[in-house]
Amino acid sequence: MDRRKFLKWGSFLTLSTATAGLAGCNSDDDDDNDNGTDDGADNGTDDGARYQYPQGVASGDPRPDSIVLWTRVTGANDAAIALRVQVARDERFTQLLVNDAISAEPDWDHTIRHKVVGLDAATTYYYRFVAGASTSAVGRTRTAPAANAAVAQLKFAFISCQDWSVNHWAAFDELAAQDLDFIVHLGDYVYETVNAGFQTGAVEDAHAPLSLPDGAPRGDGARYATTLADYRSLYRNYRSDPRLQALHARFPMIAIWDDHEFSDDCWQDRQTYATNDDVTPLTARRRDASQAWFEFMPADVSFDRDNQSFENIQIYRAFRFGTLATLLMTDLRLYRADHVIPEKNVGGEIGSRYFVPKSMLSQFEAAKIAGGGGQLAPVSMMGDAQRNWWKSQLQASTTTWNLWGNEVSLLRMQFDGTLAVAGLLAQGLVAANGALQPLLGAIAGALAQDLASADLGTTKPTTTYPALSALLNAQAGITPAAFAAQIKPQLDAQLPASTLLDKYLLNADQWDGYNAERKDLMAFVRDAGIRNVVALTGDIHAFFAGPVMDDYDAATPRPVMVDLVTAGISSNSFFSYFKNVVDTDASFAVARPLIYSQQNGTISNMFNATLKQFNSDWLRYIDTDAQGYATVTLTPGELRCVFNKLKPLNGRQAPALPAVASQTVLTVTAGTPAVNVAA
């Protein structure tokens, strides 16, 4: 075996060392990159045959002296394909540093992951691949600054949730036109389902419907990937889009996965589509999903195909950008314990993963910790080894900023059903009795008191509204008899199910559902005095920003870091999910005004205000109905983040550029765990 090619960590990753003084090679390649070049090297690849690079080229994991290069090459048959990898300082490849022979193997779907070492720090390089008479597109990449370099500025974007089958991908055109050092991808690079209900709405014509070579049917009519062929098919199709190819060709990417690279709301090797799905391990499916991710991501990670467990890959890893920033990329799926309240305990995702009673979650979590001898393992998202690694990396960090590539939000998103219903009832009462308008606030407070003491043992709350009756008697001259005859029936008719009068967490698949471990991590940051920790987060299909508290349930929570959450590139919004719940689940219909209002066919988002009402101490910015991406400019004194909200689909076409509808600027000042939102 050539010294430049080896099996690393039990996986296929080839290696070259950049060498100055190689013979240069000029080329006048056509736009289709189908003309070969030959610098006279005896590498056995100039066979005159024609090959294709249907998914383009990519680079990733920039370090001061190395980069990982990627392509996929196909030919007339399924045999191994000999090719060359070339790296140069200039786009015309006159200053060639690498010109090495490698092989695209069918066992790895003819993908190449090639690591180049010996590079200069903070330097732009160009790369391409040559197979026979066919040359790939030229990629541009850049190494990280030297570890001790005083970096004045770093510019990057962070993105997530790019469902092929929903909305549009104009964001990639927008991003490719910018001047960035790298891209952080926080997962949901592909979606494992096709033809799911949420994927059957409007999508741009550029994205034809997808199918899977194998796939398994789901109860809602969707099919989901189950085999290596299925997952490879998804990556091949997603990467066939020229806009995504252009983004990869222009910037190195640092990527992790979230859930949809395997299965929605997954944990370890378990799927959660139906109530009892996660009882059965699906190790082969998990390993196939991991292998396809490894094959198609330009990531310098360990993967061992011979290891028969589902933990045969490690994607959590650290990066350093001079003295300015450390970036920790974590894996919050492969090691996480089951959701604290299993779906089988409540009959489905509502009550387990979404709209979860806060007190019930706390009780289940405490019981699991006690059953585990006081350890976090039964309620952990990270797992013990990764959690210890995360802490040690932060403890050892000497950079100004500590960034965390974190898949799911750390910001609490809670909802007090009693206060919310009291507010709705008060508004309804005032609307029906206009003279009571000056008492709106007092009425809401009295109703909250009455509902809190109501009998909840029946389907609907039972109360005589003593506090409200006394208030209206004293302030509006409505006698108890008149109240009982006229007001009480109005209120009773609008009462929701008793179960709604509780405190809820909206999404227990994110850090709210793993509160004990979050408290442990935040206590570590607080007690170790680690400053300038900022999470870069995706997953939830909405823009959020705010400080992360050491203990959200404390009498005086203390902010210790910041979470910046980007909306999805194209995936349906967080708002649309909750709108669907209140529109289709009768038990939540009464909560519709908390999610949206509609007048003359125009829908108004009330969800933002509802979340703000119950999370005002930490949710500094909220936009639950958005697609978009985030860009960051980092200096020693400030992190400046721009939330770029995209225009909607224009019929069946992506919007014309510029596709950004609005921008929101947020800043974090070094030394202060707080988010400032520009007016």
Give the position of tokens 């195909």.
Answer: 305
| Residues of the chain scoring pLDDT < 50 | 1-10, 27-44
DSSP class per residue in 223-271: EE--SHHHHHHHHHHHTTSHHHHHHHHHS-EEE---STTT-TT-BTTB-
Three-state secondary structure call for residue 56: coil
Strand partners, 624: none
Three-state secondary structure call for residue 476: helix
CB of 618 closer than 8 Å to CB of 548: yes
State how far the Cα of 339 lies from the Cα of 380, in Å rounded to an integer.
Answer: 9
Handedness of CA 542, 548, 553, 555 (dihedral sign): negative
State how far the Cα of 356 lies from the Cα of 582, in Å rounded to an integer.
Answer: 15
Would you tell me how many other CB atoms lie within 10 Å of the CB of residue 596?
A: 19
State how far the Cα of 667 lies from the Cα of 20, in Å rounded to an integer.
Answer: 42
DSSP H/E element including 459:
none
Q: Is 125 exposed, middle or buried (0-12, 13-18, 19+ CB in 10 A)?
A: buried
State how far the Cα of 404 lies from the Cα of 563, in Å rounded to an integer.
Answer: 9
Q: Which of 61, 59, 89, 113 is nearest to 248 (CA)?
A: 59
State how far the Cα of 332 lies from the Cα of 380, in Å rounded to an integer.
Answer: 9
Strand partners, 662: 645
**What pLDDT score does 173 carry?**
98
Based on C-alpha coordinates, what's the Rg of the chain?
27
Q: How far is CA 70 from the centre of its chain?
A: 23
State how far the Cα of 68 lies from the Cα of 75, in Å rounded to an integer.
Answer: 23
**What pLDDT score does 32 carry?**
42
**What pLDDT score does 48 carry?**
80
Which strands make up the sheet holding 414-416, listed edge to edge? Answer: 354-357, 503-507, 414-416
DSSP H/E element including 244:
helix 242-250
Q: Which of 55, 47, 57, 40 is nearest to 131 (CA)?
A: 47
CB of 624 closer than 8 Å to CB of 546: no
CA angle 22, 25, 30 (to 5 degrees): 150
> Whole-prediction pTM value?
0.95
CA angle 12, 17, 18 (to 5 degrees): 130
Report the 3 state secondary structure along 121-143: CCCEEEEEEEECCEECCCEEEEC
Would you tell me how many other CB atoms lie within 10 Å of the CB of residue 588?
A: 20
Q: Which of 142, 139, 234 is nearest to 191 (CA)?
A: 234
CB of 512 closer than 8 Å to CB of 340: no
Query: In the Cβ-directed half-sphere of 490, how many Cα atoms lie within 13 Å?
Result: 16
Would you tell me how many other CB atoms lie within 10 Å of the CB of residue 499?
A: 16
Q: Which of 56, 207, 68 is nearest to 569 (CA)?
A: 207
**What pLDDT score does 36 carry?**
36
State how far the Cα of 296 lies from the Cα of 428, in Å rounded to an integer.
Answer: 55
Residues in the chain: 679
Q: Report the Cα–Cα distance between both ends of the chain, in Å, rounded.
A: 61
CA angle 110, 111, 117 (to 5 degrees): 135
State how far the Cα of 359 lies from the Cα of 341, in Å rounded to an integer.
Answer: 11
State how far the Cα of 7 lies from the Cα of 15, in Å rounded to an integer.
Answer: 9
State how far the Cα of 550 lies from the Cα of 121, in Å rounded to an integer.
Answer: 37
DSSP letter, residue 360 = H
| CB-based contacts of 509, cutoff 8 Å, min separation 6 | 259, 265, 339, 353, 354, 408
CB of 647 closer than 8 Å to CB of 659: yes
Q: Which of 303, 249, 293, 299 is nearest to 68 (CA)?
A: 299
**What pLDDT score does 24 carry?**
61
Give the position of tokens 């209120």.
Answer: 491
Three-state secondary structure call for residue 543: strand
